[in-house]
Amino acid sequence: MTAPVLHSAQADTPENRPVLRLKPKANARAIRRGAPWVYDNELVMDRRAKKIAPGTIAVLEDAERQELGLIAANPTSKIVGRMLDRHVDATIDQAWLEVRIAKALSLRERLYDAPYYRLIHAEADGLPGVIVDRFGDTVVVQPNAAWAEVLLEPLADAICAVCGVTNVLKNAGGRGRSLEGLDDVDRVLRGAAPKAPIPVAMNNATYMADLTGGQKTGLFFDQRDNHAFAARLCENTAVLDVFSHVGGFGLAALAGGAKSAVCVDGSAPALDLAAQGAGHMGKTDCFEARQGDAFDQLQAMQDASEEYGVVICDPPAFAPNKPALDKGLRAYERIARLAAPLVEEDGYLILCSCSHAADLTSFTGACLRGIGRAGRRAQLIHTGQAGPDHPLLPQLAESGYLKALFFRL
C-alpha cells in the first residue's frame, strides 16, 4: 500500500493550523462531554477541508465558530477528526507526548510489579489510535492513525525518555492502518529487535512473545485477569484451550494445577511458542498441541466423545464491524454448540469475544443459544473484560471490546 504524503512533525504551529467546523446539526455537546471521534458526515467537508493532509493538527469548531479543541485530521478516513487536546493553544510535540505517556505509565506501575503490560491503550490514554505494548526493555508501537505516523519519531523519543526503554519497534499490522491509508511496513525505530522470543511471566505461567513475527504485538495482555480466574477452575482437571495462540488459557491452567492442557490453533508457529512456554514451566509432559481449523477440531473431538473439565474458546474477532455482526454472532453460536458437549458434567465452559461490534448482550445471547442447542443447561458464574492496563473510555463503546463469559454446565 502506498502511504499518504504526511507533513513533518515540525509543521504544526498554532499559527498555521487549519480549521474544521461541525455542521449545524452535529452533536457538539457530545464532543464537549468527551466523545473522541468526529466523523466525515458531521463536518463541513468543503474543497479546502478535503485538501488537508492526513495527520495534520487542526482546530475543531462548532457551527457557531466556538473552539472545541485540537484534532488530528485525516480527510481520507471516515473518522476525520480524533480529539487530542481541549486547549487550542497546546503544542503537539515530544514534550506533550511525554506528559501523556507519563500519566499512562504511572497507572501501569501501580498495577504491575514487572514491566510487561499494555502501556498505551489509544483513546483511553489520550493518544487516539496509538497502541503500545511493553516487554521489559522493548516496546512495540502500533500507530494506527495518521497523526501518530507523522509524529512517530518524537513518539519513539518520548517513550524512551519516559520509560527508559532501549528498543522501540513499529508494528504496522493494525487493522485500522488500512482505513487511515497507511503502510504495512514494520521497522525498528530505536535500538534493535529481539533475536528470539521473549519469555513473559504472568499468573505463574511463562509465555513466549515473538515481537517481530507473532500476531499483533506478540502477546495478548488483555486476557491476563481472565486467565487468572480460569486457572482457579482448573485444578486437577483436563483443560481444552481452543484458539489458544501461544497458550494463553492453557498455560495459565497448567500453572493453576490442571493435570493436562490441550491447545488448539491454526498457527503452527503459535503452537510452537506455546510448547516452548510449557517447557519453561516444566510442564511438557502434560501439554499437547493440536494444529488445525478450530471448528473441525471441535467436531472431531465431539465425534471421539472427548470430555474436559474446562473448555475455553477465545476466537479472533468474528464481528469486527457492524456489517459482519449477524454472521459473527452465528459463528459464536456455532462455537458454543460445538464446545458445550465436550464439557463434563459440572465442568466449565469459557467463551470469549474481542468483537467490539457484538455487545455483551448480543454475545451472551449467541452463546446461550449454542449451549441450548447442544442440550446443555448453563449457569453464568462470571463475566470478565480486559484488564486495567486496557482502560475503557466511557464515551467510546469500542474501547470495551473484550468479553469473557464463564459458564458452569
Residues 222-253 pLDDT 10s: 999 999 999 999 999 999 999 999 999 999 99
Can you name the residues that pair with 133 across neighbouring β-strands?
Answer: 118, 140
Q: DSSP code of 284?
A: G
Give the DSSP H/E element, type plus range, for residue 408. Answer: strand 403-408
Helix, strand or coil, per DSSP, at residue 129: coil
Average pLDDT, the chain: 94
Helix, strand or coil, per DSSP, at residue 194: coil
Task: Say how far apart CA 301 and CA 254 lie, in whole Å.
Answer: 21
Per-residue pLDDT, 399:
78
Per-residue pLDDT, 9:
43
**For residue 62, is pLDDT > 90?**
yes
Tens of pLDDT along 174-198? 888 988 999 999 999 999 999 999 9
Mean pLDDT along residues 357-374 = 96
Name residue 128's amino acid: P
Phi, psi (deg, nearest 5) at residue 250? -60, -45
Task: Say how far apart CA 172 and CA 180 lie, in whole Å.
Answer: 12
Could you tell me which CATH class the domain 9-85 is placed in?
A: mainly beta
**For residue 11, is pLDDT > 90?**
no
- Which pLDDT band holds residue 215 (cuts at 50, 70, 90)? confident
Judge if pTM exceeds 0.85. Answer: yes
- Which pLDDT band holds residue 1 (cuts at 50, 70, 90)? very low
Could you state, in order of their start, the residue ranges of all structural domains in the chain? 9-85, 94-190, 198-408
Helix, strand or coil, per DSSP, at residue 108: helix
Mean pLDDT along residues 193-214 = 94
Question: What are the distances in angstroms from CA 261 to CA 85, 186, 240?
Answer: 48, 34, 6
**For residue 3, is pLDDT > 70?**
no
> Could you tell me what percent of the chain has a pLDDT over 90?
90
> Could you tell me what percent of the chain has a pLDDT over 70?
97
Mean pLDDT along residues 345-364 = 96
Of 8-12, 149-153, 299-303, the poorest mean pLDDT is in 8-12
Strands 238-242, 260-265: parallel, antiparallel or unpaired by DSSP? parallel
Fold of the domain spanning 198-408: Rossmann fold (3.40.50)
- Which pLDDT band holds residue 344 (cuts at 50, 70, 90)? very high
Strands 205-209, 67-73: parallel, antiparallel or unpaired by DSSP? unpaired
Task: Say how far apart CA 281 and CA 219 lie, in whole Å.
Answer: 17
Q: Cβ(182)–Cβ(4) under 8 Å? A: yes
**For residue 2, is pLDDT > 50?**
no
Q: Which CATH architecture has domain 94-190?
A: 2-Layer Sandwich (3.30)
* Strand spans (E) along 1-78: 19-21, 37-39, 56-61, 67-73
Asked if the domains 94-190 and 198-408 are classified in one and the same CATH topology, the answer is no
- Which pLDDT band holds residue 8 (cuts at 50, 70, 90)? very low
* Closest to 262 measured CA to CA, from 235, 296, 301, 228: 301
Per-residue pLDDT, 15:
75
Compute, in degrees rounded to 10, the torsion defined by CA atoms 385, 390, 393, 399: -60
Cell 472431531 belongs to residue: 300
* Closest to 336 measured CA to CA, from 364, 308, 362, 356: 364
Q: DSSP code of 64?
A: T
**For residue 14, is pLDDT > 50?**
yes
**For residue 10, is pLDDT > 50?**
no
Task: Say how far apart CA 171 and CA 368 lie, in whole Å.
Answer: 37
